[in-house]
Amino acid sequence: MTTPAPTSGRTFFLRRQDMIGIAILAVLLMVVLPLTLDNFRLQFVGKYLTYAFVALGLALCWGYAGILSLGQGVFFGLGGYCMAMFLKLEASSVENTKIQTTPGIPDFMDWNQITALPWFWEPFRSFGFTTLAVVAVPALFALIIGFALFKRRVGGVYFAIITQALAAIMTILIIGQQGYTGGINGITDLRTLHGWDIRTDSAKTILYFVCVGLLIACILLAYYVKSSKLGRLLVAMRDKEDRVRFSGYDVSSFKIFVFCLAASLSAIGGAMFTLQVGFMSPSFVGIVPSIEMVIYTAVGGRLSILGAVYGTLVVNWAKTSFSESFPELWLFGLGGLFIAVVLIFPNGLAGLWQTYVAPRLGPLFGGQARRAAPPPASEPVAPAVAE
């Protein structure tokens, strides 16, 4: 079992180096990148950051609680689709769709001979409901899955396989029900949010900052969960589940909670993705994107909350620049990167940082807490390094 770092150097729920880490990330995202990148590249970063929400959820769910979900794309997609439904309804005003057989419904419904808006689309006319649904629908879905599986003590590899199957099922469902979901094309051509044109450069810049703000808030939430008693129980569960159970804790409830939390975080990312990119499609829901999201977390270091964010940025940046430079070879480069991560630094960027960089920078980075105790014990993540 891990003991928390001594209370010295800890304010509220953050250790000093955590605060510095978050502050550096905030400055990087809020000041450095907007000043150094042009609008076009900044919008890419905004898009990458929406995946960081998923990676954040995975760091909690997988890194800390040991529950590997290969279906986070499902929740990303649910959040994204909720937002897309709202935006699509706004874009499908009677005026915009007057060439259709049935004006006033989304264009893809009209192509599929649907003549009235399905009942489950109706509530998405309300922005309040949509915002709630973005967080609640995936959480509810995760609750049902979590309840069904964790209560029966399904875990480990079996859980991972089932979540992967879910991702496949969800994709097939969305593609098959194209009259209601837009099918494989997804929900495209989203235009305005309450009359505010989200396609303009200025709107995208504003959305970028909203996205960064939300991400920082979610990071703080993740740190809060991590440092709470619950967080320590999660780590304990990961390392010796039976012992926690024999101590009288209801292990499955904690697992359900962290799975739901990761689902909601992913969904917030999905909703921000839809807003910034302007469409949502089943290609984010399936197995491949879900696994990619696990890779982001692995590259960043699954035991580090901030690492997950950096991992997402680095992998996506590499993906974009490799593919621009070598359109026919880039996948090999990316594959090489992943193999290198697994073989050479299994704890990802965060592991590299902690092993090589942080010890040198220790004093500069207010490493009092770090210095106060011997390095392995000061990090809650340390036990797993040995894995």
Partner 1 sequence: MSSHNDGSDNFSSTRRRLLKGLAALPAAPLLSSTALFSSQAFAQAPATSAVNTTGLAVTDTEVTVGILHSVTGTMAISETGSVQAEKLAIEQINAMGGVLGRKIKFIQEDGASDWPTFAEKAKKLLVNDKVAAVMGCWTSASRKAVLPVFEQYNGMLYYPTFYEGLEQSKNVIYTGQEATQQILAGLDWVNKTKGAKSFYLIGSDYIWPRTSMKIARKHIEAHLGGKVAGEEYFPLGHTQFNSVINKIKLTKPDVIYCAVVGGSNVAFYKQLKAAGIDLNKQTLLTISVTEDEIDGIGGDNIAGAYSCMKYFQSLDNPNNKDFVAAFKKMWGEKTVIGDVTQAAYLGPWLWKMTVEKAGSFDVDKIAEASPGIEFTKAPEGYVKIHPNHHLWSKTRVGQAQLDGQFKVVFETPDLIEPDPFPKGYQ
| d(C-alpha 299, C-alpha 291), whole Å | 12
271 contacts 82 by C-beta, under 8 angstroms:
yes
Which member of 101, 126, 228, 355 binds partner 1 (CB under 8 A)? 101
Torsion of Cα atoms, 384 then 288 then 258 then 143, to 10°:
-150
- Given the rule CB under 8 A, which of 144-152, 186-194, 253-261, 365-373 is the region that contacts partner 1? 186-194
Q: Is 111 in the site for partner 1 (CB under 8 A)?
A: yes
Q: Is 325 in the site for partner 1 (CB under 8 A)?
A: yes
Q: Is 274 in the site for partner 1 (CB under 8 A)?
A: no
Which member of 70, 134, 139, 175 binds partner 1 (CB under 8 A)? 175
Closer Cβ to partner 1, 3 or 321, answer by number: 321
Q: Is 95 in the site for partner 1 (CB under 8 A)?
A: no
- Given the rule CB under 8 A, which of 5-13, 154-162, 273-281, 294-302 is the region that contacts partner 1? 273-281
45 contacts 272 by C-beta, under 8 angstroms:
no
Helix 127-150 and helix 72-91, axial crossing angle in degrees, nearest 10 = 160
Q: Is 185 in the site for partner 1 (CB under 8 A)?
A: yes
Sequential DSSP letters for 181-226:
H-GGG-B----EETTEETTSHHHHHHHHHHHHHHHHHHHHHHHHHH
String of contacts with partner 1 for each residue 36-55, x by CB under 8 A = ----x--xx--x--------
- Given the rule CB under 8 A, which of 126-134, 254-262, 326-334, 349-357 is the region that contacts partner 1? 326-334
- Given the rule CB under 8 A, which of 57-65, 147-155, 176-184, 250-258 is the region that contacts partner 1? 176-184
DSSP state of 119: G
Residue 275 C-alpha from the chain's centroid: 15
| d(C-alpha 55, C-alpha 62), whole Å | 10
Q: Is 286 in the site for partner 1 (CB under 8 A)?
A: no
276 contacts 53 by C-beta, under 8 angstroms:
no
Which member of 24, 331, 339, 372 binds partner 1 (CB under 8 A)? 331
Size of the site for partner 1 (CB under 8 A): 37
369 contacts 8 by C-beta, under 8 angstroms:
yes
| d(C-alpha 353, C-alpha 367), whole Å | 14
Write down the least CB distance from residue 167 to partner 1, Å: 15
Write down the least CB distance from residue 32 to partner 1, Å: 21
373 contacts 382 by C-beta, under 8 angstroms:
no
Residues contributing to the site for partner 1 (CB under 8 A): 40, 43-44, 47, 99, 101, 108, 111-113, 172, 175-176, 178, 183-186, 188-189, 199, 277-279, 281, 283-284, 320-321, 323-328, 330-331
